[in-house]
Amino acid sequence: MTLPTLLVLDADPPPRLGRLTGRARIVHTDAGRLAERLPEADVLLVWDFASTAVRDAWPGEGSRPRWVHTASAGVDHLMCPQLAESDTVVTNARGVFDRPIAEYVAALVLAMAKDLPGTLQLQRERQWRQGESRRVAGTRACVVGSGPIGRAIARLLKALGVTTALVGRAPRTGVYGPDDLDRLLSRADWVICAAPLTEQTRGMFDERRFGVMQPSACFVNVGRGPLVDEEALARALARRWIAGAALDVFAQEPLPADSPLWGVRDLIVSPHMSGDTVGWRDELGAQFVDLFERWAAGRPLVNVVDKRRGYVPGH
């Protein structure tokens, strides 16, 4: 019996795949050798989920893996027309990041409502200066992105007493469609972006959309950097069109040290870590091993991405 070849596009630390010992021939590669190794792979595990190497290497010559799994929720970094049009199945890490990202968004909303950054600044200056903070209960949120991450965010904000509207690609029960977006944005105290990056969503948070938000509104992006026109956001903050923002994702990652975004007033910058709670790598590894066991047994895979839409379609 020939073992299937599992090609792993590695990152540090590598995945723990001990459970697959004797059940797969595991070949590790870096981005540089990915193209030459792709033809021998039955399965490709994209462990380095920040890499665009798959998108670059896929169009080449030779046979291609029948299944690609990425240890991320978004698939924008690996998708190319040739992969989208192929028979290869793409799966993602749906589920692992839902609750951690929801908690991170709740942390940001509460921190902005209570002006925790301002309090920490006064602490550094050893200044006792009391101010009034915002009550979160009774405020309104608009969560853009109705996948499992957006839904988890909406659930947690509701638990904090926030009236929350969820916006997706198309209206359905409990989800508003794009036609309602501007109206919801104009009334929201908190605008949360948790959408996948697709051709439809790229650049959706632009000057016009920041312009319809309330001067008291705060904006949070935990989706993908290119969903937001970063310069328009910086201008909106400088002009006080909105009161605050937090970005966990950026058009260019890592954010370069000379990016003006680091120093924008009322903007919280974090290094794409909203979903990274202790043990997250092990969870991602275990999720892939579970999927591999399904695949090896000939059972249907779950978390299968609609490659044209760019995400796992769901209810």
Active-site residue 28, yes or no? no
Sign of CA dihedral 76, 151, 220, 129: negative
Binding of a second copy by 313 (CB under 8 A): no
Tokens standing for 154?
Answer: 């909406």
Determine which residue in the list 47, 58, 67, 104 makes contact with a second copy, applying CB under 8 A: 104
CA-nearest of 174, 251, 173, 170 to 205 is 251
The two beta strands, 43-46 and 67-70, are: parallel
Determine which residue in the list 6, 113, 237, 305 makes contact with a second copy, applying CB under 8 A: 113
Cα torsion 275, 280, 281, 283 to 10°: value is: -120
Cβ atoms within 10 Å of 231's Cβ, excluding its own: 13
Active-site residue 315, yes or no? no
Rounded Cα gap, residues 148 and 129, in angstroms: 41
Reduced to 3 states (helix: H, G, I; strand: E, B; else coil), residue 164 is: strand
Determine which residue in the list 61, 130, 199, 215 makes contact with a second copy, applying CB under 8 A: 130
Rounded Cα gap, residues 68 and 133, in angstroms: 47
Determine which residue in the list 37, 77, 209, 272 makes contact with a second copy, applying CB under 8 A: 272
Binding of a second copy by 254 (CB under 8 A): yes
Determine which residue in the list 273, 286, 296, 304 makes contact with a second copy, applying CB under 8 A: 273
Rounded Cα gap, residues 171 and 183, in angstroms: 14
Q: At what angle do helices 98-113 and 116-124 cross, to 10 degrees?
A: 60
Q: Which stretch binds a second copy (CB under 8 A): 31-39, 116-124, 175-183, 234-242?
A: 116-124
Shorter beta-carbon distance to a second copy: residue 61 or 125: 125
Any idea what DSSP says for residue 263?
G
Residue 230 beta carbon to a second copy: minimum distance, rounded to whole angstroms: 15
Active-site residue 207, yes or no? no
Determine which residue in the list 22, 32, 137, 199 makes contact with a second copy, applying CB under 8 A: 137
Cβ atoms within 10 Å of 250's Cβ, excluding its own: 21
Binding of a second copy by 200 (CB under 8 A): no
Binding of a second copy by 282 (CB under 8 A): no
Shorter beta-carbon distance to a second copy: residue 136 or 192: 136
Tokens standing for 206?
Answer: 């632009």
Shorter beta-carbon distance to a second copy: residue 54 or 246: 246
Binding of a second copy by 265 (CB under 8 A): no
| Binding interface with a second copy (CB under 8 A) | 99-100, 103-104, 106-107, 110-111, 113-114, 116-117, 119-120, 122-123, 126-137, 156, 159-160, 253-255, 257-259, 262-263, 268-273, 276-280
Q: Which positions are catalytic?
A: 224, 253, 272
